[in-house]
C-alpha cells in the first residue's frame, strides 16, 4: 500500500516488503534489500540502456519478464527475482553471449556462467566480425570478440558523461558492432581519449594497452596488484584517482563511480597521463 504523507511506494520482492522513493527501479529496490540481480548494461553512473536482458525478473500481472534496471517500482507490486523462468532466461542470454564472445576476462560473467549452469557449446558460433582486435594507439585496445554490445561505452561517450559522441552501434544482427563515424580509425575520429568508455566496459573488450601487453606476455597478475586512491595532480578540479599498480608500476587508472566530482569519469590526463611517474631518474648536468 502507498504510505501516506510522502512519496514512498512499497513492493514485495521475493516476499520481502521494500519501501522506496517513487521513481526507484526494481533493481535499486532489490539492491537496497540485499537481493542481488545480475546485470551487464546497468551502471550507477549511466542511464539504463535496457540492452542485455540479464536483469529480468517476474512481476505478477506482467505477461513477459520485465527488466528490473529500468522498470520503476509500482506500489503493491509482487516481484520474484529467482524463479525457474528467470533462471532459464538468464541462462539462455549467457549462452547466446558465450556463443560469439570470449567472456573469460569478466569475473562477473565467469561467476554467473557457473551459477546459471551455462553450456558454452550449446549454440554454434556465428561468423565473427573481421579485425577482432584493434590496436590503433598506445592508450587502449578494442577487442571485438569480447564486446557484448551492452551500449555502456556509447552512453559514456555520449550524453551520460563525455558528450563527444565519437562511437555508436553500427550494423545489424551479427554484423552489429561499436564503430566510429564511417569506421575511421579511432585516432582520426572525434575521440578525445578520455577513456570513459574503457572505465565502464564490463567485459574488458576495452582495456588499457598496458593491461593488454601484460596479458599478452602472460604477466597480468591482478591478485598481486594494489589500488591506491589519490587526487589527480593536473588541475584544480580535484578528481579522485585509483592507481592500479603491479611491481610498483601503474598499470591502469580508474575513478570511483560514486565519487561526487567524477562519477567515475576522467579526462585524458587523469586517465592516461601518468607515464611521467616512471620516467628515468633526472640527473642534473654536471657543471662545466
Ligand atoms: S575515449 Fe572518450 S571520447 Fe574516445 S570513444 Fe571512449 S568515451 Fe568516447
Ligand atoms: S565495448 Fe564494452 S562497453 Fe562497449 S558495447 Fe562492447 S562490451 Fe559494452
Domain boundaries, the chain: 8-82, 133-278
> What's the confidence (pLDDT) of residue 286?
76
CATH number for region 8-82: 3.10.20.740
Bridge partner residues of 179 (DSSP): 168
Cα 179 to ligand 1 centre (Å): 11
Please state the φ and ψ torsions of residue 249, each to the nearest 5 degrees.
Answer: -120, 135
Beta strand ranges found along 130-276 (DSSP E): 133-134, 140-143, 167-170, 177-180, 206-208, 226-231, 240-246, 249-254
Q: Which ligand lies nearest to the CA atom of residue 201 in the structure?
A: 2
Q: Which atom of ligand 1 is nearest to the CA of 198?
A: 6
Report the pLDDT value the prediction gives residue 122, as an integer from 0 to 100.
Answer: 86
The confidence score (pLDDT) of residue 6 equals 66
CA dihedral 254, 258, 263, 269 (to 10 degrees): -30
Residues of the chain with pLDDT under 50: 1
pLDDT at site 129: 63
Q: Hey, whose CA ends up nearest to atom 3 of ligand 2?
A: 201
Task: List all residues whose CB is within 6 A of at least one atom of ligand 1.
Answer: 156-157, 162, 164, 166-167, 191-197
**What pTM was computed for the model?**
0.90
Question: Which numbered atom of ligand 2 lies nearest the CA of 41?
Answer: 8
Tens digit of each residue's pLDDT (9 = 90 or more) over 211-235? 999 999 999 999 999 999 999 999 9
Ligand 1 atom with the smallest distance to the CA of 156 is 7
Domain 8-82 shares a fold with domain 133-278? no
Ligand 1 atom with the shortest distance to the CA of 206: 6
pLDDT at 131: 75
How far is the centre of ligand 1, averaged over its atoms, from the C-alpha of 136 (Å)? 13
What residues does ligand 2 touch, defined as CB less than 6 Å away? 147-153, 178, 200-201, 203, 205-206
- How far is residue 82's CA from residue 119's CA, in Å, rounded to a whole number? 19
Grid look-up 640527473 returns 283
pLDDT of residue 174: 82
Name the residue with cell 570470449.
102
CATH superfamily of 133-278: ADC-like domains (2.20.25.90)
Which residue's CA lies nearest to atom 3 of ligand 1?
A: 191
- The C-alpha atoms of residue 237 and residue 226 are separated, in whole angstroms, by 25
What pLDDT is attached to residue 198?
98
Amino acid at each position: 500500500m502507498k504510505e501516506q504523507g510522502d512519496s514512498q511506494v512499497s513492493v514485495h520482492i521475493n516476499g520481502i516488503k521494500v519501501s522506496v522513493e517513487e521513481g526507484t527501479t526494481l533493481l535499486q529496490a532489490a539492491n537496497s534489500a540485499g537481493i542481488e540481480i545480475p546485470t551487464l548494461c546497468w551502471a550507477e553512473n549511466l542511464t539504463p540502456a535496457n540492452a542485455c536482458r540479464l536483469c529480468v525478473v517476474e512481476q505478477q500481472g506482467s505477461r513477459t519478464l520485465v527488466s528490473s534496471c529500468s522498470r520503476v517500482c509500482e506500489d503493491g507490486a509482487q516481484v520474484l527475482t529467482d524463479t525457474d523462468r528467470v533462471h532459464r532466461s538468464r541462462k539462455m542470454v549467457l549462452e547466446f553471449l558465450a556463443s560469439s564472445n570470449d567472456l573469460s576476462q569478466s569475473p562477473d560473467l565467469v561467476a554467473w556462467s557457473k551459477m546459471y549452469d551455462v553450456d558454452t557449446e550449446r549454440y554454434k558460433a556465428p561468423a565473427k566480425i573481421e579485425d577482432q582486435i584493434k590496436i590503433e594507439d598506445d592508450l587502449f585496445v578494442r577487442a571485438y570478440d569480447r564486446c557484448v554490445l551492452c551500449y555502456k561505452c556509447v552512453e559514456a561517450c555520449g550524453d551520460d558523461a563525455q558528450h563527444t559522441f565519437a562511437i555508436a552501434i553500427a550494423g545489424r544482427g551479427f554484423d552489429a558492432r561499436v564503430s566510429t563515424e564511417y569506421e575511421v580509425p579511432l585516432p582520426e575520429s572525434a575521440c578525445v581519449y578520455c577513456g570513459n568508455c574503457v572505465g565502464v566496459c564490463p567485459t574488458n573488450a576495452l582495456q588499457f594497452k598496458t593491461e593488454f601487453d601484460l596479458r599478452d606476455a602472460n604477466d597480468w597478475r591482478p591478485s598481486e596488484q594494489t589500488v591506491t586512491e589519490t587526487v589527480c595532480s593536473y588541475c584544480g578540479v580535484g578528481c579522485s584517482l585509483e592507481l592500479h599498480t603491479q611491481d610498483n608500476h601503474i598499470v591502469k587508472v580508474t575513478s570511483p563511480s560514486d565519487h561526487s566530482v567524477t562519477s567515475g569519469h576522467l579526462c585524458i590526463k587523469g586517465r592516461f597521463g601518468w607515464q611521467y611517474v616512471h620516467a628515468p631518474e633526472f640527473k642534473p648536468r654536471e657543471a662545466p
